[in-house]
Amino acid sequence: MDREKVTIICRCNDVTLEDILKAIESGIDDFELLRKKLKIGFGPCQGRGCLVIAARLFARKTGRNLGEIISNYTFRPPLVPIPVKYFTRGGEK
């Protein structure tokens, strides 16, 4: 078993531990860039399942401060996915 290939960090987008380690090795030294390149937390869960794990891994590998990494993350609405049909009538005030 290739451990790193089957350890799934981001379930929504199938980002594996191997993907993250390879990206860091290739020179990605900023967590936001790592996230954006690999699409960690871009899926339906918007990072609920993977953000902290990915941040921890990144902090460990690069020596950065975990708290700083997590504090830089921005939270935007909607906090849960909303079907478009909620916005196809009325509401324009």
Measure Cα distances from 65 to 5, 16, 50, 59, 60 in Å.
Answer: 26, 22, 17, 6, 9
Answer left, alpha or beta for residue 59, where phi above 0 means left and psi between -120 and 50 means alpha: alpha
Q: Could you tell me the end-to-end alpha-carbon distance of the chain, in angstroms, rounded to an integer?
A: 58
Site for other proteins in 29-88 (CB under 8 A): 30, 32-33, 36-37, 39, 42-46, 48-50, 52-53, 57, 66-68, 70-71, 74-88
Output 63 or 92, the one with its CB closest to other proteins. 92
Applying CB under 8 A, which residues contact other proteins? 1, 3, 6-9, 11-14, 16-17, 26-28, 30, 32-33, 36-37, 39, 42-46, 48-50, 52-53, 57, 66-68, 70-71, 74-93
